[in-house]
Amino acid sequence: MKIILLGPQGSGKGTQASRLAEKNGAKHISTGDIVRAEIKSGSDLGKKVQEYNDRGDLVPDETIIEMFKPHLDGADAWILDGFPRNESQAKALDEALDELGITLDKAVALEAPDDDLVARLSGRRQSEATGKIYHVEHDPPPENSSDDPGPFIQRDDDTEEAIRNRLNIYHEQTEPLKDYYERQNLLATVDAMQEIDAVTKDVLGAVGER
């Protein structure tokens, strides 16, 4: 299984990638994790990425692909989470996969209405004591707990305004990738507002696994 997970923030890409990796041994390749690990390693590539970050510049597609290549080539099965984010990145990834002789099996888009995603994300609260994330409705912060005394705050990026701004960016830049992969007969869509187990089952079904 070699798949890309697409979807807006709050659709559960990270959760599903981790569950799928656990079920079938596929490698979960997270853009953020790879970038952080490369910077921490102090490699030449990591230093280059840090320089872009320090300047506030976007890391070029070819640099990200260079970081990904060993991970893509070194695993029999993988789930790519957080990349590509636009068509130029998708084309760069296609070229890299061609060079490596790797065939992409599926691009799975996790779909959910914006209003539901806003409700899901704006309800999050983070403990300043432990860093744990709670949800005011589905997993409320504990009261008077010695294990996690809080305080429990709403992060700046979890306000409705910030969430809707990120969703707009997703719709403008990343959502068109559904058409890109549809043209290659690689697209599958899954309702991300189902129970977590049901989403996992549908993703596995979409890629021909159970």
Domain that holds residue 34: 2-114+174-206
User: Has residue 167 been placed in a domain?
Assistant: no
Residue 15 lies in a domain: yes
Contact 64, 53 (CB under 8 A): no
Q: How many CA atoms lie within 13 A of 95 on its CB side?
A: 10
- For the question of residue 155 being annotated catalytic, the response is yes
Which of the listed ranges 2-6, 15-19, 51-55, 153-157 does the model predict with the highest average pLDDT?
2-6
Q: What is the pLDDT of residues 127-153, one digit of tens each?
A: 888 888 888 887 889 988 888 988 999
Model pLDDT, residue 68: 87
> How many domains does the structure of the chain reveal?
1
Domain-embedded: residue 78: yes
**43-94: pLDDT as tens digits:** 999 899 899 888 878 788 888 898 889 999 988 999 999 899 999 999 999 9
Q: Indicate whether 156 belongs to any domain.
A: no
Q: For residue 73, is it within any domain?
A: yes
Q: From the candidates 2, 13, 19, 106, give the one annotated as an active-site residue.
A: 13
Query: 85, 164, 178, 201: which one is catalytic?
Result: 85
Model pLDDT, residue 110: 97
Q: Are strands 106-111 and 187-191 parallel, antiparallel or unpaired?
A: parallel
CB 180 within 8 A of CB 88: no
- 120 assigned to active site: no
Give the closest residue to 130 by CA, choosing from 148, 144, 154.
148
Q: Which residues of 162-198 are buried (b: 16+ CB within 10 A; e: fewer)?
A: ebbeebeebeeebbebeebbeeeebbbbbebeeeeee
Is pLDDT of 210 > 70?
no
Q: Is 13 a catalytic residue?
A: yes
Cα(59)–Cα(194) distance, integer angstroms:
34
> Could you tell me if residue 123 is inside a domain?
no
What's the whole-model pTM score? 0.85
Peptide bond into 151 cis (omega under 30): yes
131 within some domain: no
CATH of the domain at 75: 3.40.50.300
Q: Examine the residue annotation and report whether 85 is marked as an active-site residue of this protein.
A: yes
168 domain-assigned = no
Catalytic residue among 27, 164, 166, 178: 166
